[in-house]
């Protein structure tokens, strides 16, 4: 069967490869796996003639990419000798293959000399390497397909289609990403170029943002936005508004992306991004209600209960229409495992060009092992935080993970959170590039309201309530974002305005550094 295949192999080959494989195997069996033994032989011959070619080829091509096992072992032997600064040719390789049974079938050690018979192979060495690599990917794809079919038809064990789909996606993603520069060494020139591009992006953003914008100038000026490959922990006690702030940031980043695309800005230079929210606590419609409340200026409680006027409903409909094309994706699947979350995030990155991930919240994720006991839970949280950091690096996007704090905060007079308050695992602090705490003094002042005085009460009761009213006025609508850890800059504190009625954070007019 003849066919034309164009794959992104990264060997700099512009022309498509022409593949020739048998339609069926001998005896009319299933189709033969795609392969080209002649291309493998020509590549090995070229490598033995000019060892310098190994430097280019070995970055992507592995021994197991060869269809003929003997060819894979010859390739591996060539790389070993080159790595030791030795010449790899039929003479130096011969002792390594004297007793190789499979090579004897091809002609024994004399086969090595046969491989170098055509110097013309030198011209197309990179093309041969590309074809060997591409055919290996096709064989891997066939392997994944066969395994999917076998598992799907086998009902002898427990039937769990969702787990099978997730496992298949992971396997397919591995095949798709196999040629990527995972952990590749960068020269200082390459690293410098990336640093300059980041600075240029910050300069052109108009708001000193080198990462993804939060939509809040006071936060951007301190953090420079949310940076690719960073794990950001946003923590706070219940009622502080951490979910609200995360939702605000998600909306601001997604809406900025839409504006940048409408203005014709290159997606790579946009400070906005498509955002995925994995919300294990709230349903998608509850989250949507929050965003609609924020944008329409109507209380989310009034929205849920239908206590709105016709004018407010028109505002709601207008806000809903504006949000129709927002690249904001919500996954409200409960009890997600870290592996399932990574699979879904990869899929969104591949399909939608995902630029930021929010997880609400970290402690509701499940690890890979069996839970049980406090010690196991600590290990599980460590596994989850490491998994989130790996996900941020793998997809090159910021991951904002919300986290609970321990009750130790409530026992202190000053209830501002500290790094030691992160619940269940010190590894959260260790894995995070940034740790942010949300603190609202208003929440605690409100809970300390003294008896409301009535006529005839002791003057001290009036004084106590007046003092509380002054304290409440000072704290009302003010929130603090405490930057407890930051790899990119200094720690500190940012004051924000918080409208609890519509769960919206915004900048205080004259309270952020410029």
DSSP letters for 170-208: HHHHHHHHTTS-TT----HHHHHHHHHHHHHHHHHHSS-
Q: Cβ atoms within 10 A of the Cβ of 305, count?
A: 9
Question: Alpha-carbon distance 266 to 291, whole Å?
Answer: 27
User: How do the domains of the chain map onto residue ranges?
Assistant: 2-177, 190-440+478-500, 441-476
What is the CATH architecture of 190-440+478-500? 3-Layer(aba) Sandwich (3.40)
Q: Identify whether the C-beta of residue 397 lies closer than 8 Å to the C-beta of residue 433.
A: no
Q: Do domains 2-177 and 190-440+478-500 have the same CATH topology?
A: no
* Parallel/antiparallel/unpaired status of strands 328-331 and 356-360: unpaired
Q: Tell me the angle at which helices 284-296 and 242-262 cross, rounded to the nearest 10 degrees.
A: 70
Tell me, what's the pLDDT at 267? 84
- Decide: residue 398, CB within 10 A, 0-12 exposed, 13-18 middle, 19+ buried: buried
Tell me, what's the pLDDT at 17? 38
Question: Alpha-carbon distance 110 to 96, whole Å?
Answer: 13
Tell me, what's the pLDDT at 183? 44
What is the CATH architecture of 2-177? Orthogonal Bundle (1.10)
How far apart, in Å, are the Cα atoms of 477 and each of 248, 280, 318, 350, 445? 16, 27, 27, 40, 12
* pLDDT under 50: residue ranges of the chain: 1-10, 12-25, 179-184, 371, 512-514
Closest to 339 (Cα-Cα) out of 154, 173, 184: 173
Tell me, what's the pLDDT at 397? 92
Spatial CB neighbours of 8, under 8 Å, sequence gap ≥ 6: 179
Question: Alpha-carbon distance 384 to 138, whole Å?
Answer: 33
31-64: string of b/e by CB count within 10 Å (b at 16+)?
eeebbbeebbbbbbbbbbbebebbeebbebbebe
The residues pairing with 17 across neighbouring beta strands, listed in sequence order, are: 5
Residue with token string 């295949």: 5
| pTM for the full predicted model | 0.64
């Amino acid at each position: 069967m003849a066919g034309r295949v164009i794959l992104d192999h990264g060997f700099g080959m512009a022309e498509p490869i022409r593949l020739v494989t048998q339609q069926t195997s001998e005896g009319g069996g299933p189709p033969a796996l795609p392969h080209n033994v002649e291309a493998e032989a020509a590549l090995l011959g070229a490598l033995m003639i000019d060892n310098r070619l190994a430097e280019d080829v070995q970055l992507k091509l592995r021994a197991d990419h060869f269809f003929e096992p003997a060819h894979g072992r010859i390739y591996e032997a060539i790389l070993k000798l080159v790595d030791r600064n030795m010449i790899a040719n039929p003479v130096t390789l011969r002792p390594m293959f004297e007793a190789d049974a499979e090579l004897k079938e091809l002609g024994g050690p004399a086969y090595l000399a046969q491989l170098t018979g055509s110097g013309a192979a030198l011209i197309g060495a990179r093309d041969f390497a590309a074809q060997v690599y591409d055919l290996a990917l096709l064989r891997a794809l066939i392997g994944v397909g066969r395994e999917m079919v076998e598992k799907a038809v086998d009902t002898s064990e427990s039937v769990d289609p969702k787990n099978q789909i997730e496992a298949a996606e992971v396997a397919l993603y591995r095949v798709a990403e196999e040629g990527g520069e995972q952990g590749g060494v960068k020269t200082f020139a390459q690293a410098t170029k990336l640093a300059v591009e980041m600075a240029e992006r910050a300069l052109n953003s108009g708001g000193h943002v080198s990462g993804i914008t939060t939509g809040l100038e006071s936060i951007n000026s301190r953090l420079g936005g949310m940076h690719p490959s960073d794990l950001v922990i946003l923590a706070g006690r219940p009622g502080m508004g951490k979910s609200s702030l995360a939702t605000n940031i998600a909306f601001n980043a997604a809406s900025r992306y839409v504006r940048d695309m409408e203005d014709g800005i290159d997606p790579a230079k946009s400070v906005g991004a498509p955002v995925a929210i994995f919300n294990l606590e709230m349903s998608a419609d509850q989250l949507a209600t929050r965003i609609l409340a924020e944008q329409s200026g109507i209380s989310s409680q009034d929205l849920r209960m239908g206590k709105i006027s016709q004018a407010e409903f028109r505002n709601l409909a207008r806000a809903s229409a504006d949000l129709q094309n927002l690249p904001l994706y919500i996954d409200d699947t409960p009890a997600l495992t870290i592996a399932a979350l990574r699979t879904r995030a990869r899929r969104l990155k591949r399909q939608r060009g995902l630029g930021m991930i929010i997880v609400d919240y970290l402690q509701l994720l499940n690890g890979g092992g069996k839970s049980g006991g406090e010690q196991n839970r600590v290990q599980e949280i460590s596994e989850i935080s490491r998994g989130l950091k790996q996900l941020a690096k793998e997809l090159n996007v910021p991951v904002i993970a919300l986290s609970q704090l321990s009750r130790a905060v409530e026992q202190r007079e000053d209830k501002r959170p500290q790094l030691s308050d992160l619940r269940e695992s010190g590894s959260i602090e260790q894995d995070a590039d940034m740790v942010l705490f949300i603190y609202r003094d208003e929440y605690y002042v409100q809970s300390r309201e003294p008896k409301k005085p009535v006529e005839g009460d002791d003057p001290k009761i009036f004084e106590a309530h007046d003092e509380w009213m002054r304290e409440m006025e000072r704290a009302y609508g003010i929130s603090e974002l405490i930057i407890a850890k930051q790899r990119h800059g200094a720690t500190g504190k940012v004051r924000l305005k918080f409208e609890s009625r519509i769960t919206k954070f915004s900048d205080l007019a004259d309270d952020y550094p410029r």
